Amino acid sequence: MKRPVMFLHGGNVGGWIWEPQTAALDDRLALAPDLPGYRSRRGDEWIGFDAVADRIAEAIDQEAGEPVDLVGLSLGGITALHLAARHPDRVASVFVTGASVLPYTWRMRAVNRVALALWNRRFYWAGTARQFGLRGTEADEFLATAPPATRENIRAQLVEVYPGRLIAPERITAPIMAVAGEKEIPYFFDSIRAIRAASPRAQTGLAPGMHHAWNGEDPDLFNRILRTWLDERTAHPELLPLP
């Protein structure tokens, strides 16, 4: 078996979003836990990125027994970078997409205020299910557990994330691949540049034609790009350069 890989999900969802990836990596131990406060751990209080990173490091010791390749989307990307900086001995490499390391813009904060105002409304989550491409039974299962986290936990996360500079990329010793969807807002391109400025050896790229949660938007593309990184520590040729 090759090195274990751990997937860290974004906000609004849970470890289930990585099913197209964990199924494709049948030659590795693939872990996709729910982060504290989400889905199966919805009753847990968000305890801050430091404590979350420490708990994930403990889970790596217990479930993998060796350093893992980290893969993170959005919130999971922030967590992955934070974990790699805080526990470099548990991390062999880092692949993040849509990870924010800069202060949120006022527009992004306004969008989050609207989302939080609608947090407990079923129609909001029905729309979210459609965004993730869920239909039929999958959509019903998603809605049955929505919202996946409490509004209080989301607010606690945003308090940490909004100011930016939560992460110290210069402290990360593992190889880094930082990407974003080509159709994401420029903020995420700037975050990639910030990661590269702090860690000059970091590799970067844009997923062609993709939006934020592109592991579900085009699983085959995501799996090809990820597989190349995991096996060769190089950027897949389909990745576009930053503009």
pLDDT digits (tens, 9 = 90+) for 83-98: 999 999 999 999 999 9
User: Edge-to-edge strands of the sheet including 91-97?
Assistant: 30-31, 5-8, 68-73, 91-97, 176-181, 203-207
Give the domain 5-232 fold.
Rossmann fold (3.40.50)
Query: Domain map of the chain by residue range?
Result: 5-232
C-alpha span between 7 and 40 (Å, rounded): 16
Contact 22, 32 (CB under 8 A): yes
What pTM did the predictor assign?
Answer: 0.94
pLDDT category, 141, cuts 50, 70, 90?
A: confident
Could you give the maximum distance between any two Cα atoms of the chain, in Å? 46
pLDDT for res 166: 67
- Rounded to a whole number, what is the distance in angstroms from the first to the last CA of the chain? 38
Q: What is the mean pLDDT of residues 101-106?
A: 95
pLDDT for res 40: 83
At 184-235, the pLDDT tens digits run 999 999 999 999 999 999 999 999 999 999 999 999 999 999 999 999 999 9
